[in-house]
């Protein structure tokens, strides 16, 4: 019991020291970093940009010039503004030189600024679904898109199947590329390996669908086999490799791409079912009007360009 009271007493005594050394940082915008000192700092010191040194952690020799500094009314939080946009996917180090508080110099401090893992993964998911939608912004996978989007029922079935194959192939392809191909310097074989990986999963889905849901299997028909060489299903593992995504990033990117494709399929199928009852000119019936509708959807999805959630 006595030891517990001694520990609490030491904690109270040490609390001012802990408070003085506390500090955190975060991206506020693409050209701003917000840092919190935990204690009030002198305004004259904070407004001097020469007191701050900022650089990306991988490149400590390349400094990022601070344009101005804004201090909040409590003089605890400062916002550093830059002329150039920051790389929000990287980690930055902010060095505050000779921090001054109430006329007392407390010494230099470092703030490590980077996005949280949840922010990165959630942003990646939304990017793959909307901002980089493979159908409406990159125009990939159009063969299956136009072939299976005539009815909502088949569109939903293909969307779920496609997403399942996409997620599984993305994570397995990442593992093969990271631990086999790159380790053995066989990067040039990645396209062949990725096609083989996708083919295995498509064959597995083919067998399962044939037994579990013969009706959906019949409706999907040849398009199920075409997943093997679909542009999107191959683009995702290739982009994962080129962008050096980790396991979770590859998984989330594959999930986002699959869900984005499913959304595109469902939207298109909903419109095409309505078009069957509409008075469409004879020259536009079938694929011509489908291309027009796709173009309108593409224009709408361009509105997501440059979208930043965090």
pLDDT attached to residue 309:
61
SS3 assignment, position 107: strand
Query: From the centroid of its chain, how far is CA 174?
Result: 16
pLDDT attached to residue 23:
53
Radius of gyration of the chain (CA): 27
Q: Which residues pair with 141 in a beta bridge?
A: none
Cβ 150 vs Cβ 269: under 8 Å: yes
pLDDT attached to residue 19:
36
Closest CA to 64 of 35, 31, 97: 31
DSSP string, 265-286: HHHHHHHHHHHTTS---GGGTT
> At residue 145, what are phi and psi to the nearest 5 degrees?
-60, -50
Q: What angle do CA 118, 121, 123 make, to 5 degrees?
A: 100
Indicate if the alpha-carbon torsion angle 73, 75, 81, 87 is positive or negative. negative
- Average pLDDT by stretches of 10, the chain with 310 residues: 45 38 69 89 92 90 91 91 86 91 88 81 89 91 86 87 89 92 89 88 82 79 73 89 89 94 94 88 88 92 74
pLDDT attached to residue 15:
39
Helices then strands, each counted (H, E), the chain: 11, 8
* Domains of the chain, each with CATH number or no CATH: 21-113 (2.60.40.1220), 117-304 (no CATH)
Q: Please list the alpha-helical segments (H only) found in 213-286.
A: 214-220, 222-226, 231-242, 247-275
pLDDT attached to residue 285:
86
């Amino acid at each position: 019991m006595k030891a517990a009271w001694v520990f609490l007493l030491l904690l109270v005594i040490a609390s001012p020291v802990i408070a003085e050394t506390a500090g955190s940082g975060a991206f506020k915008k693409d050209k701003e970093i917000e840092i919190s000192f935990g204690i009030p700092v002198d305004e004259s010191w904070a407004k001097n940009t020469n007191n701050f040194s900022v650089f990306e952690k991988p490149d400590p020799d390349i400094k990022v010039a601070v344009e101005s500094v804004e201090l909040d009314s409590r003089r605890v939080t400062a916002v550093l503004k830059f002329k150039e946009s920051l790389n929000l996917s990287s980690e930055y180090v902010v060095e505050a030189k000779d921090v001054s508080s109430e006329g007392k110099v407390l010494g230099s401090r470092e703030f490590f600024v980077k996005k949280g893992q949840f922010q990165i993964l959630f942003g990646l998911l939304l990017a793959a679904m909307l901002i980089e939608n493979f159908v409406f912004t990159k125009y990939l996978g159009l063969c299956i898109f136009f072939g299976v989007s005539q009815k909502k029922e088949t569109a939903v079935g293909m969307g779920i199947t496609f997403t399942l194959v996409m997620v599984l192939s993305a994570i397995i392809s990442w593992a093969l590329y990271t631990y086999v191909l790159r380790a053995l310097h066989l990067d040039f074989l990645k396209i062949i390996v990725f096609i083989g990986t996708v083919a295995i999963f498509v064959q597995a889905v083919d067998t399962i669908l044939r037994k579990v849901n013969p009706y959906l299997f019949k409706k999907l028909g040849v398009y199920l086999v075409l997943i093997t060489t679909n542009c999107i299903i191959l683009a995702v593992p290739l982009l994962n490799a080129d962008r050096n995504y980790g396991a979770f990033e590859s998984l989330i990117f594959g999930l986002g791409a699959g869900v984005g494709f499913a959304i595109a399929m469902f939207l298109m199928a909903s419109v095409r079912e309505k078009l069957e009852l509409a008075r469409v000119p004879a020259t536009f019936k079938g694929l011509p009007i489908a291309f027009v509708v796709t173009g309108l959807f593409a224009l709408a999805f361009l509105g997501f360009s440059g979208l930043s959630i965090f």
